[in-house]
Amino acid sequence: MADRRPKSEKPVGSGNPNRINRLLTATVRKDYESLSNMVMLTNLGLNSEENNELRAETRGKNVRMRVVRNRLTLNAFREMGLKDAEKLFAGQTAIVDAEDPVVAAKLAVEFCKKFEKKLKIVGAVVEGKILGPKEVEALSQSKSKPELLADVVMLSKSPGARIAAQLKGPGGKIAGAIKALVEKLEKAGAAEPAKA
């Protein structure tokens, strides 16, 4: 519906679509500038109920999924220095973003398997590098950040545990021998006064 108000009553800049587009692009850029891990999906026929189901699943995993306006988002990506990102925006695009790139990739692959033929991975932006669909699938098969940290902790504890086990074995034998000797001497000492 067209704004039929006289020009004097319209807000300043409201008649300039380029200014509005620049403001919208700046807003999108502000949203995505701080993110470094994003997986792009294209919607090939999800209905609103399935879309809501996906959003509910992402909320529980501290991941965000948004359907974006391609042209404005692409302009924002160009301003951020991601000029090659143009191939990631084909059709209706949804962006899955998370702090951990593996979590975002795993979730995107899981969604595509769940809604086969309705969702398709187009690519990803991970730490400023653009990945293709096969690279996203390979990323989804690797370990997430918490899993890698658990492995590092386990590996760092393992040499100390081995040393403790090595020290505990002979030390336990010596302590057992001393305890047996003390008990033997106590029994012998208790038995001698009874004879006298």
Domain layout of the chain by residue ranges: 15-142, 143-196
Q: DSSP labels for 87-139?
A: GG--SSEEEEE-SSHHHHHHHHHHHHHHTTTTEEEEEEEETTEEE-HHHHHHH
* Digit-coded pLDDT (tens) for 111-142: 888 888 888 888 888 887 888 889 888 888 87
- H or E segment and range at residue 181: helix 145-195
pLDDT exceeds cutoff 60 at 196: no
pLDDT exceeds cutoff 70 at 86: yes
For residue 151, count other CB atoms closer than 10 A to its CB: 11
Using N-to-C axis directions, what is the helix angle for 70-79 and 17-33, rounded to 10°?
70
Contacts of 132 by beta carbon, 8 Å cutoff, 6+ apart: 123
What superfamily in CATH does domain 15-142 come from?
Answer: Ribosomal protein L10, N-terminal RNA-binding domain (3.30.70.1730)
Burial of 132 (0-12, 13-18, 19+ CB in 10 A): middle
* Digit-coded pLDDT (tens) for 26-69: 887 787 777 778 888 888 788 888 888 888 888 777 788 888 88
Strand partners, 67: 94
Q: How are beta strands 93-97 and 64-68 bridged, if at all? A: antiparallel
Residue 13 or residue 75, greater confidence:
75
pLDDT exceeds cutoff 80 at 195: no
Residue 192: pLDDT band (50, 70, 90) is low
Residue 12: pLDDT band (50, 70, 90) is low
Chain position carrying tokens 């209706």? 92
Write the CA distances from 158 to 154, 163, 165, integer angstroms: 6, 9, 10
